Chains A and B, each alone.
Chain A
Amino acid sequence: ETGVTQTPRHLVMGMTNKKSLKCEQHLGHNAMYWYKQSAKKPLELMFVYSLEERVENNSVPSRFSPECPNSSHLFLHLHTLQPEDSALYLCASSPSATRGEQYFGPGTRLTVT
């Protein structure tokens, strides 16, 4: 498979559940990103990883916990979420964390009940 893939594509979870989102990039890139996309709002950058090191945490609540075991994989661990966390979560990668276009996955549509 090519490009950036994300699983699952859809997720419904209760506020007490723990779940994880997975992202994999097949582009040989060194940087990976998590974004949140809510209706009527611009994309919000959550986390940036460069060569498996977190280089940016954009004031994201601790109920979101990222993990980057290698430059091809990125996870977003979720626990005790709130209904307002329901959104489309997008993963992206780029050749470098300093410059260049970012390529996005299809996203995970998350609904918190």
Chain B
Amino acid sequence: GESVGLHLPTLSVQEGDNSIINCAYSNSASDYFIWYKQESGKGPQFIIDIRSNMDKRQGQRVTVLLNKTVKHLSLQIAATQPGDSAVYFCAENYEGSGNTGKLIFGQGTTLQVKP
């Protein structure tokens, strides 16, 4: 079946460096992707989304890149700060979801920021 996965369960970076979190998806019909951040004791927080008609989208300190050829999604965080420490999830929505906005989530990458 379709799945969304992240390449690394844990990523450790130095404060001030850029972080890149990767995600691979298997369904070429997926046309909408979201990145979420989940801090300890909290629910997932929407960070940024991208539709399949785009390759890149930028937010505040974050950039999402979509490579449909290899079905790869990445989240780039510029100048990583201690407050960025969290678990990051990617999620996809695909046509097979019918009339529900069914998101398929990956397992998550834990980002650890070292001071």
Contacts and interface: CB of A to CB of B under 8 A. Distances in A.
A6 B108 CA distance: 23
Interface string A47-65: 0101000011000000000
A111 interface: no
Contacts of A40: 107
Given A106-B42, A106-B43, A96 B89 contact: no
Interface residues of A, number: 27
Interface string B6-39: 0000000000000000000000000010101000
Contacts, number: 60
A107 B43 contact: yes
A41 B107 CA distance: 6
Given A42-B108, A43-B89, A96 B43 contact: no
A80 interface: no
Interface string B38-57: 00011111100100000000
